Amino acid sequence: MAKNSIANHSSKSAKTSAQPHFHQRGNEIQPFGTVTSMTPLQLEEAVRLEMTEQLNLLLADTMTLRDLYKKSHWQVAGPTFYQLHLLFDKHFEEQSELVDTIAERIQLLGGIAIAMAHDVAEATRIERPPKGREAVPVQLSRLLDAHQVIIENVRELAERADKLGDDGTNDMLVSDLLRTNELQVWFVSEHLVDEPTVRDAEGENTPAARKSA
Ligand SMILES: [Fe+2]
């Protein structure tokens, strides 16, 4: 009796169209490294192909810098812990926005944005940091080196996009990528100026030194 009721139950379930179909796999609907052939964007396929290829490298670098900021946010140590912990997370958020902007630009140009960590690791031009913790000056230097790689490539690519008539990509590169990276470089690099925090280095600007002068 119990067996029958289970059988009835399962045959009823099998008839519903609301049953999800799990564990599916299939062919890709578009291979990586291609662009769709026709769009109303008025941009040649060759231009979109070149731009999406270069933007994917920039995307990999930006994802790597984003993650380097999170690594730095977690692993920072020392007297400037609090301010750097907050600053690194702010820059992480801003880089995350840039990641989305670049990836969606690639998709709208008819291409495919890389997304997964192993693909990013293969493509990035940024030096791999160790898994372990590093001192603040090294963290800051690594971040600035990563910004430098990105800024150099952004400038070159912006010029190329301009030459090829891809104004949207050019605008994104200059207005979003370049401006954000330049500003972050300023905020990070000022922390590497060797300025005293409590007493003037030369000892010339203390009340005692001024009195005896
Ligand atoms: Fe956090």
| Cα of 49 from ligand 1 centre, angstroms | 38
Q: What is the pLDDT of residues 171-199, one digit of tens each?
A: 999 999 999 999 999 999 999 999 988 88
204: three-class secondary structure by DSSP: coil
Q: What is the pLDDT of residues 25-75, one digit of tens each?
A: 999 999 999 999 988 999 999 999 999 999 999 999 999 999 999 999 999
| Cα of 70 from ligand 1 centre, angstroms | 8
Domains of the chain: 41-192 (1.20.1260.10)
Output the CA angle 92-98-102, nearest 5 degrees: 145
Question: Shortest CA distance to 181 belongs to which of 97, 103, 117?
Answer: 97
| Cα of 188 from ligand 1 centre, angstroms | 18
| Cα of 161 from ligand 1 centre, angstroms | 36
First to last CA, the chain: 107
| Cα of 89 from ligand 1 centre, angstroms | 7
| Cα of 187 from ligand 1 centre, angstroms | 19
The identity of residue 118, as a single letter, is H
- Please report where in the chains the tokens 């990509």 appear, as a residue: 169
| Cα of 104 from ligand 1 centre, angstroms | 26
CA 203 to chain centre: 44
| Cα of 91 from ligand 1 centre, angstroms | 12
Q: What is the pLDDT of residues 127-180, one digit of tens each?
A: 999 999 999 999 999 999 999 999 999 999 999 999 999 999 999 999 999 999
Q: Give the pLDDT score at 1.
A: 43
| Cα of 178 from ligand 1 centre, angstroms | 26
pTM for this predicted structure: 0.88
